[in-house]
Amino acid sequence: MSETSYRRRAGLSRRGRLLLLLALALLVVNAVALFLLLRETGAPARTLVVPEGWRASQVYAAVDKGLDLPPGTTKAAAAKAHLKLPAEAKGNPEGYLYPATYPITDDTTPGGLLAYMVETANKQFGQDRTAVRARHGRLTAYQMVTIAGIVQAEAETPADMGKVSRVIRNRLALGMPLQMDSTLNYALNRSTLTTTAAETRTDSPYNTYQHKGLPPTPIGNPGRQAMSAALNPPPGNWLYFVTVAPGDTRFTDSYAQQELNVAEFNEKQQKAAKAA
């Protein structure tokens, strides 16, 4: 639906800052505990950074590189690691490879590292709380992580995350297809700003232009803020949004207004292309 691949920081509310500080504190505690454990073994520690929104394929490649393993090793290890995932995930850790900085050593195994990422995700998401919130919205905890993954990919700023979450909820409630470019990008294994009409006819369960409801799995690994937005969307009637320019994402419940906003976006893209 939205061309929102731009990334820019925005100011947070006091509550948002407190949540962010709490999340950072928890991550620091986890990282320190693991670092001390590694130090006791005498193994030299390095770090592996998993950014918010990375797909599992990106995490696998980074682990392979960080541990100096042949490409494909970590992906193969994921299927045998007995990760603590919801039954709905069917062994696929997409959405649960929590974004953070992880210490690694020469003794680190890909399966062990993936297991720690999943364990961290379960702690950070607070599965009991997530399950309660999900039931209240007639969704499962796994579906909440799926929503959070879309929010992470679609929202330009932390302030927009809640509104994107509300758009998703509103569309699901009305039986409308989500029409999210981020899910189609996942199907096509890419990240772009625009989508063609032909691409919206792509045959994939992740094509939310063609299929109603949520995609079958998360489309990336969301952070705590995206998960909070998925669980607690603000009230609003929005059904559409588009980022016309960096810092200018417009939400509306009017299709006519959405068309005007998209036209303005396309005009700016054309001007930028001519100027390049």
pTM: 0.83
CA distances from 268 to 97, 195, 243, 244, 265 (A): 36, 16, 11, 8, 5
CA 222 – CA 235 distance, rounded (Å):
22
Question: DSSP strand E in the chain: where?
Answer: 46-49, 101-104, 240-245, 248-252
Cβ–Cβ < 8 Å for 114, 63: yes
Q: What string of pLDDT tens digits covers the 276 residues of the chain?
A: 644 333 333 334 444 444 444 454 455 445 545 554 444 455 567 999 999 999 999 999 999 999 999 999 999 999 999 999 999 999 999 999 999 999 999 999 999 999 999 999 999 988 666 666 666 678 999 999 999 999 999 999 999 999 999 999 999 999 999 999 999 999 999 998 788 999 999 999 999 999 999 999 999 999 999 999 999 999 999 999 999 988 899 999 999 999 999 999 989 888 888 887
